[in-house]
Amino acid sequence: KQEVTQIPAALSVPEGENLVLNCSFTDSAIYNLQWFRQDPGKGLTSLLLIQSSQREQTSGRLNASLDKSSGRSTLYIAASQPGDSATYLCAVPPKAAGNKLTFGGGTRVLVKP
C-alpha cells in the first residue's frame, strides 16, 4: 500500500527566502507525481505534474524534482512572497492512470512580509 509523507508539516519563513518542501513515497511504481496548492476554504490548484520518466518540472518560481529510486520529490519555491502562503500537497496515483490518488499530509506554509 502506497504511503506518502510530507516534511515539514508546517513552515514559516520571511519574505524572499527560498522554500523547500519534501515529499516521500514508499512504492516507486508510480505513474506520475503531482504537487497541489490549497488555500483555506478552497479547492486544490495543480502546480506541477511530473511524469514517472521525468526528473523535474519547472513553472516560473516553482521547480519540482522527482527521484523514483529513492521515493522522493522536492518542491522548490524561489524568492517566496506572502501570496505563497498556503498548504502544499503532493499526491501520487498507482501505476495505472485514473486510479485514486494517495495524498501526503501537506505542508502548511506561512511567508511573513
Partner 1 sequence: GAVVSQHPSWVICKSGTSVKIECRSLDFQATTMFWYRQFPKQSLMLMATSNEGSKATYEQGVEKDKFLINHASLTLSTLTVTSAHPEDSSFYICSASRDSYGYTFGSGTRLTVV
Binding flag, residue 89, partner 1 (CB under 8 A): yes
Binding flag, residue 96, partner 1 (CB under 8 A): no
Cell digits of residue 110: 506561512
**Residue 36 φ then ψ, to 5°:** -125, 160
Number of residues this chain uses to bind partner 1 (CB under 8 A): 21
Q: Is-contact 92 33, C-beta < 8 A? A: yes
Enumerate residues 19-48 that contact partner 1 by CB under 8 A: 32, 34, 36, 41-46
Tabulate helix, strand, coil % of the chain (nearest 5).
Answer: 5, 55, 40
Among 21, 75, 91, 109, binds partner 1 (CB under 8 A): 91
**Residue ranges in contact with partner 1 by CB under 8 A:** 32, 34, 36, 41-46, 49, 89, 91, 93, 97-98, 100-101, 103-106
